[in-house]
Amino acid sequence: MSENTPTYNIKDYPKQQMRGSLLEGVRYTCAEFFEKEWEGMWTKVWLLLGRESELPDPGDWQMEPVGIEEILMVRQTNGGVKAFYNVCQHRGNPLVEDAKGSVKRFVCKYHSWAYLPDGELNFAPDKDDFPEGNPCGKVRLSELSCETFAGFVWVNMDPKCMSLKEYLGPIWDEWALRNLHTWKRTLANSMWLPCNWKVVLDNFNESYHVPTVHMGATTETNRKEIRGHINTYFKETRFDLADEGHNRMIMEGGYGVGSTDKDGNILEPLASQLRYWDLDPEDFKSKPEDTRKALQQAKRRLGPSRGFEHYARVPDEQFTDAFHYTLFPNFAVSLWSDGFHFLRARPHPDDPQQCLFDNFWYASPASLDAGTELNRGSEQEVERTLLEYGSGVSIGLGIDDDVRVFVTQQRGFRSRGFKGVYLSSQESRIRRYHELIDDYIEGRLPK
């Protein structure tokens, strides 16, 4: 860790040993690897799939695809959530086709077998005609492990899986401070992309690309000098790799170049944020770096009384800095003071060169009321939109730049001329999670 690396009042994650395996293009293109990954990894991990607020009442359900599976998450009369494979146990027809709905019973469209929300079959036509006996009260939908945390519904296809809390390791305690279950979705775009799901996760596992892809940096650019609203300079970034396979990258809220005009005046949106927190942008003329500490102190002092309830429990740094997490295997999130940038990639049912990509944004209720933070989209909880890749429509500010690179990089991975990645230390999070995928494939699951 460099001497410039910021220190925080949060615990370090343990140091990880990596093997330095060769990571070749076939990991992103080949059907055989895709199959091994499915059997060895996807069917053994906890996956964030649903949102509790989409299931307010008993019988409400949400269905989400992961590879060849479709998972049905259903609110129960006791307030819990159960998850089932979306498949009728009569002769295998899927039970639902839509993304969400509400039922008293799930009725199969093939022969009308009907299941209660708890998975029990309670109607079958001609129920006396079965040599193995009446299936009602006996046959059940096939159930997966299901838990809720931070307002999300998580599932695991492995019947012998560890608890979600164990699986999440240090993430659990850090996120539990935030009241994330109360945050509202203000952007929800999804798109099938012509690239492997790991291309997406690799990208969000490093900020090495940020100057080139998002800030127009060239070979001439001094990378230390181009910070925008966050400081992506690697020597001043903190990287942590958890035993469980998740990781964390912390970048200071920069407020450097780009936060002022040529005369040193503080620009929007920082100027409005300062005013909201009773600070005068004039006082920070030509010294935008000083806004970081000042904002932290003002939010600490005024936040709880203005409805920012979670401020009472999080360290000062979380009021200004970017806490970027990747949860193994497929979920990347930037956690800001009041915004939660949700980025997820899921495998296609059978094509390793496609994935379903989600770009969502959640915002704290107090920030929506105040209209202060960089929260995107509307101020209402929004429904998801499935956009079409290549139609020219934007999936989200900034993220369009990433998507362009996902697609070109996938093309490069097909080339026999590509010899395998050559990673910098600041890209260690990529190496670590590829090696963990190999561990899963070879049967070495985290304890």
Applying CB under 5 A, the residues found at the interface with Fe ion are 402
Rounded to a whole number of angstroms, the minimum distance from the CB of residue 209 to Fe ion is 6
Q: What SS3 state is found at 436?
A: helix
In angstroms, the CA 192 to CA 346 distance is: 9
Asked if 90 touches ligand FES (CB under 6 A), the answer is yes
Contact 230, 322 (CB under 8 A): yes
If contact means CB under 5 to 8 A according to the sort of partner, which of Fe ion, ligand FES, none does residue 402 touch? Fe ion
In angstroms, the CA 106 to CA 79 distance is: 18
Q: Return the bridge partners of 62, or none.
A: 73, 100
CB nearer ligand FES, residue 72 or residue 230: 72
382 Cβ contact list (under 8 Å, min separation 6): 185, 186, 187, 188
If contact means CB under 5 to 8 A according to the sort of partner, which of Fe ion, ligand FES, none does residue 91 touch? ligand FES
Smallest Cα–Cα separation from 6: which of 292, 222, 284, 235?
Answer: 235
Type of residue found at 125:
P
CB nearer ligand FES, residue 111 or residue 301: 111
The first and second tokens of residue 205, run together, are 């596992």
If contact means CB under 5 to 8 A according to the sort of partner, which of Fe ion, ligand FES, none does residue 404 touch? none
Contact 440, 41 (CB under 8 A): yes
Q: What is the DSSP letter of 402?
A: H
Asked if 139 touches ligand FES (CB under 6 A), the answer is no
Q: Where are the beta strands (DSSP E) in 52-193?
A: 60-66, 69-75, 81-85, 100-102, 106-107, 114-115, 121-123, 143-149, 152-156, 184-193
If contact means CB under 5 to 8 A according to the sort of partner, which of Fe ion, ligand FES, none does residue 308 touch? none
* Dihedral sign from CA coordinates of 151, 152, 156, 157: positive
Asked if 93 touches ligand FES (CB under 6 A), the answer is yes
Question: For 67, left (φ over 0), alpha (ψ -120 to 50), or beta?
Answer: left
Rounded to a whole number of angstroms, the minimum distance from the CB of residue 136 to ligand FES is 12
Binding segment for ligand FES among 53-61, 107-115, 150-158, 175-183 (CB under 6 A)? Answer: 107-115
Tokens 């001094």 -> residue: 222
Question: Which of 11, 19, 91, 104 is the binder for ligand FES (CB under 6 A)?
Answer: 91
CA-based max dimension of the chain: 86
Binding segment for ligand FES among 89-97, 355-363, 389-397, 403-411 (CB under 6 A)? Answer: 89-97
If contact means CB under 5 to 8 A according to the sort of partner, which of ligand FES, Fe ion, none does residue 93 touch? ligand FES
Q: Name the burial class of residue 319, with classes exposed (0-12), middle (13-18) and buried (19+) by CB atoms within 10 angstroms of its CB.
A: buried
Question: For 20, left (φ over 0), alpha (ψ -120 to 50), or beta?
Answer: left
In angstroms, the CA 402 to CA 394 distance is: 12
Asked if 72 touches ligand FES (CB under 6 A), the answer is no
Rounded to a whole number of angstroms, the minimum distance from the CB of residue 216 to Fe ion is 13
CB nearer ligand FES, residue 5 or residue 122: 122
Asked if 88 touches ligand FES (CB under 6 A), the answer is yes
Asked if 332 touches ligand FES (CB under 6 A), the answer is no
The first and second tokens of residue 358, run together, are 């989600």
Question: Which of 10, 48, 49, 108 is the binder for ligand FES (CB under 6 A)?
Answer: 108
If contact means CB under 5 to 8 A according to the sort of partner, which of ligand FES, Fe ion, none does residue 38 touch? none
Length of the chain: 447
Asked if 287 touches ligand FES (CB under 6 A), the answer is no
If contact means CB under 5 to 8 A according to the sort of partner, which of ligand FES, Fe ion, none does residue 378 touch? none
Rounded to a whole number of angstroms, the minimum distance from the CB of residue 93 to ligand FES is 4
Asked if 142 touches ligand FES (CB under 6 A), the answer is no
Asked if 63 touches ligand FES (CB under 6 A), the answer is no
Contact 70, 85 (CB under 8 A): yes
Q: What is the DSSP letter of 235?
A: G
Cα Rg, the chain, nearest whole Å: 24
Asked if 130 touches ligand FES (CB under 6 A), the answer is no
CB nearer Fe ion, residue 244 or residue 402: 402
In angstroms, the CA 367 to CA 388 distance is: 31
Q: What is the total count of residues that contact ligand FES (CB under 6 A)? A: 8
Question: Which of 14, 110, 286, 419 is the binder for ligand FES (CB under 6 A)?
Answer: 110
Asked if 293 touches ligand FES (CB under 6 A), the answer is no
Rounded to a whole number of angstroms, the minimum distance from the CB of residue 85 to ligand FES is 13
The first and second tokens of residue 404, run together, are 């362009």
Asked if 376 touches ligand FES (CB under 6 A), the answer is no
Binding segment for ligand FES among 87-95, 150-158, 198-206, 243-251 (CB under 6 A)? Answer: 87-95
Binding segment for ligand FES among 108-116, 146-154, 197-205, 392-400 (CB under 6 A)? Answer: 108-116
Residues that bind ligand FES (CB under 6 A): 88, 90-91, 93, 108, 110-111, 113
